[in-house]
Amino acid sequence: MLTAFARAFKTPDLRKKLLFTLGIMVLFRLGAHVPVPGVDYRNVQMCMDQTKSGQGLFGLVNMFSGGALLQITIFALGIMPYITASIILQLLTVVIPRLEALKKEGQSGQAKITQYTRYLTVALAILQGTGLVATARSGALFGGCTVGNQIVPNQSIFTTVVMVITMTAGTALIMWLGELITDRGIGNGMSILMFTSIAAGFPTALWAIKLQGSLMGGWLEFSLVILCGLAMVALVVFVEQAQRRIPVQYAKRMIGRRSYGGTSTYIPLKVNQAGVIPVIFASSLLYIPALLVQFTGSKADWAEWIQRNLVKGDHPIYMVTYFLLIVFFAFFYVAISFNPEEVADNMKKYGGFIPGIRAGRPTAEYLSYVLNRITWPGSLYLGLIALVPTVALVTLNANQNFPFGGTSILIIVGVGLETVKQIESQLQQRNYEGFLR
């Protein structure tokens, strides 16, 4: 990987793309430290010190924003509204025939879906920004903070509107920066910005583990976490690269005087076909009961049961529920994102078949069978990876932003692998060696 980056910096046009991408990443991180107008920054820092930032209900969203959420900066909402909008549009594509028709139109249809995603992102940013401002004004953003209700001293409607507009504009700016990276830089822009947000919290989280350690001044715990992280990265790389290749043979066809087809290829089915989406779904769903209790302030038996069993991540009920939800959403997302019948119809249309399997319905049934078989280990792997921070919380007394595990390690390794692949493919295009050297 390091060799690929070194060769890329020696190539002038690739060097420009890499420097442009790094410049956007620096600009993105600067925006994550600019406070929103109307926020008392000193009280925010005091509350973060008192409540140990990163713990609580908003840990996932705070991780995706690179710590900007709890600091209430202009990039507080981060990339989450765009991620949510993209997932919603992808789910609606299966339900709404109009969106399904746009998806099949190719580049023009995809551009239209992208436009809808932008509109929905802005709408979700307004909704989430309003919720964040209301939470900050009520003092619920930092539950154990003594000055939590003084984060927004001026609680007039004008101040609230300005704060919501500022955070919505920050989300729109992040979306534009991501598209700039996609067009003029290296890799997928939104993924790169997500990578930047998560990686920005790694040094702080690692140093916090060192400070909380008791053996050899905390260095023993620090070393154990680094070794665990390396093992986790190796496991994630191995599983993310693993795939089941379904062989496909295309029969020869005579069109006029020319012969077409007769080639052999394969359908790559990844073991982790769903990616990180099931973990995000499961985490978001488990936040809903705790948020409901926090906003209602109820002291009923059901509220106490939720506070006791579904708020603390180290509780067995929470861990089992989290694991089962990840497995369920892995199968659910694979079922809506990969259509075996559509793949079988396309193969039949172009004269393709799987050796030993009849074309048409038998092919679709065979693909469904294989997909279900490989989704089981993929879903179990996602569940185990997602539970690593919880195990670390119990064994190492680490905070909930334990860096090597869960959503963070999946996204960082996935984005890193994809970016390196794109760099290597562009290097091969520019350094092609023929038969004659």
Per residue in 244-290, pLDDT (tens digit) is 888 888 777 666 666 665 678 888 888 888 888 888 888 778 877 77
Instruction: Answer whether residue 119 shows pLDDT above 90.
Output: yes
Question: Which pLDDT value is given to residue 125?
Answer: 92
Question: Which pLDDT value is given to residue 148?
Answer: 61
Question: Which pLDDT value is given to residue 436?
Answer: 46
| φ, ψ (nearest 5 deg) of residue 195 | -55, -45
Q: Where residue 405 falls among pLDDT bands split at 50, 70, 90?
A: low
Contact 180, 403 (CB under 8 A): no
**Average pLDDT over the chain, rounded to whole?**
80
> DSSP character for 306?
H
Please write the tens of the pLDDT for every residue from 9-35.
Answer: 778 888 888 899 999 999 998 888 888
Domain spanning 1-200 has what CATH number? 1.10.3370.10
Angle between helices 277-296 and 361-386 (to 10 degrees): 50
Q: Which percentage of the chain shows pLDDT scores above 70?
A: 82
CA distances, 220 to each of 212, 230, 300, 398 (Å): 11, 16, 44, 13
Instruction: Answer whether residue 332 shows pLDDT above 70.
Output: yes
Instruction: Answer whether residue 53 shows pLDDT above 50.
Output: no
Question: Which pLDDT value is given to residue 437?
Answer: 47
SS3 404: coil
Burial of 51 (0-12, 13-18, 19+ CB in 10 A): middle
Question: Which pLDDT value is given to residue 397?
Answer: 56
> Among 40-49, 56-65, 226-235, 284-293, which stretch is predicted with the lowest mean pLDDT?
56-65
Instruction: Answer whether residue 176 shows pLDDT above 90.
Output: yes
What residue type is assigned to position 93 of the chain?
Answer: T
Q: Which residue has the higher pLDDT, 197 or 315?
A: 197
| Rounded Cα distance, 401 and 381, in Å | 20
Please write the tens of the pLDDT for every residue from 89-99.
Answer: 888 887 888 88
Question: Which pLDDT value is given to residue 435?
Answer: 43
Q: What is the chain's length?
A: 437
| Rounded Cα distance, 226 and 155, in Å | 45
State which of 71-80, 120-129, 383-392 shows the largest mean pLDDT: 120-129
User: Long-range contacts: 68-72, Cβ < 8 Å, 24+?
Assistant: 68/31, 68/32, 68/33, 68/197, 69/132, 70/44, 70/141, 70/142, 71/32, 71/33, 71/35, 71/41, 71/44, 72/35, 72/36, 72/39, 72/44, 72/132, 72/136, 72/141, 72/151
* 141-150 average pLDDT score: 68
Q: By C-alpha distance, which of 428, 295, 406 is closest to 64? A: 406
Kindly state the helix (H) or strand (E) to which residue 167 belongs, with its residue range.
helix 157-184
Q: Which percentage of the chain shows pLDDT scores above 90?
A: 12
Looking at the domain 205-404, which fold is it?
Answer: Preprotein translocase SecY subunit (1.10.3370)
Question: Which pLDDT value is given to residue 232?
Answer: 82
Contact 347, 244 (CB under 8 A): no
CA distances, 420 to each of 129, 240, 277 (Å): 35, 14, 22
Instruction: Answer whether residue 62 shows pLDDT above 80.
Output: no
Angle between helices 97-104 and 80-95 (to 10 degrees): 100
> Among 146-155, 173-182, 369-378, which stretch is predicted with the lowest mean pLDDT?
146-155
- Give the position of tokens 């009280």: 43
State which of 195-209, 244-258, 387-401 shows the largest mean pLDDT: 195-209
CA quadruple 130, 145, 222, 32: dihedral sign: positive
Instruction: Answer whether residue 54 shows pLDDT above 60.
Output: no
pTM, rounded to two decimals = 0.80
Q: Where along the chain do the CATH 1.10.3370.10 domains lie?
A: 1-200, 205-404
| Rounded Cα distance, 368 and 246, in Å | 12
Question: Which pLDDT value is given to residue 233?
Answer: 84
Q: Where residue 216 falls among pLDDT bands split at 50, 70, 90?
A: low
